[in-house]
Amino acid sequence: MNFLELAEKRYSTRKFSDRPVEDEILQKLLEAGNMAPTAKNIQPQRIYVLKSKDAVAKMEELSPCVFGAKTVLLFAYDETEEWQNPLEEGIHAGVEDVSIVATHIMLAAADLGLGTCWCNYFPNSKAAEAFNLPEKERVVLFMPVGYPAEDDKPSPRHDKRKPLSETVKEL
Ligand SMILES: Cc1cc2nc3c(=O)[nH]c(=O)nc-3n(C[C@H](O)[C@H](O)[C@H](O)COP(=O)(O)O)c2cc1C
């Protein structure tokens, strides 16, 4: 499968099977994330692996979007480390950096036959509190990870892509 085929194959999984994610597979996903580019290679991302029943249950209390996954990754960044644009006040790269890391993981998971769903439907700061994250960290998203249930399928939204003519312009 080449990259474009992989990009086409990936979709948001919203029904996971009970099959746990093997430790070595999880390690591969985290390594794929670690290879992501970040601004000035500062790597301000912090990834929290929720695998215990208690930790996953805490996430389930915060959001309906765990979808039965037994493993959840919570993505944050350290705002004291993130790159600040010296040419434009208020522009900083933490959210971009974390998003690229999470995208690497999402696509690596699809490549290995796992499903994921990028989720931001949760109270970010309550999640930081629930998991006792350091004050200087900002939570961006969480991602249930696992093997899709047999009857899992893409949502109808998956195929609704705008034509490039609406999203791309040559200047
Ligand atoms: C920034 C962002 C936030 C999202 N938040 C959620 C979410 O909280 N819950 C959810 O079920 N899906 C969420 N999604 C998944 C999108 O709904 C999904 O990617 C989109 O509908 C396209 O479908 P596809 O991923 O199957 O191609 C999110 C995706 C992104 C990129």
| Per-residue pLDDT tens over the stretch 66-108 | 999 999 999 999 999 999 999 999 999 999 999 999 999 999 9
SS3 26: helix
Indicate the pTM of the whole model: 0.97
Overall average pLDDT of the 30-59 stretch:
98
Other beta carbons within 10 Å of 65: 20
Q: Ligand 1, from 9, 12, 105: best to mutate by most atoms within 8 Å of Cβ? A: 12
Q: What is the pLDDT of residue 165?
A: 98
Query: 168, exposed or middle or buried, with CB in 10 Å at 0-12, 13-18, 19+?
Result: exposed
Q: What's the CATH superfamily of 3-150? A: NADH Oxidase (3.40.109.10)
Kindly give the distance from the C-alpha atom of residue 65 to the centroid of ligand 1, in angstroms, as a whole number. 10
Q: Give the model confidence (pLDDT) of 19-41 as tens digits.
A: 999 999 999 999 999 999 999 99
Q: DSSP assignment of 85-115, as one string? A: -TTSTT-B-HHHHHHHHHHHHHHHHHHTT-E
Which atom of ligand 1 is closest in space to residue 154's alpha carbon?
26
Dig out the tokens for 74 from the structure. 């919570």
**CA-proximal residue: ligand 1, atom 18 (nearest):** 12
Q: What is the pLDDT of residue 131?
A: 98
Dig out the tokens for 111 from the structure. 């490549």
Q: Give the model confidence (pLDDT) of 107-155 as tens digits.
A: 999 999 999 999 999 999 999 999 999 999 999 999 999 999 999 999 9
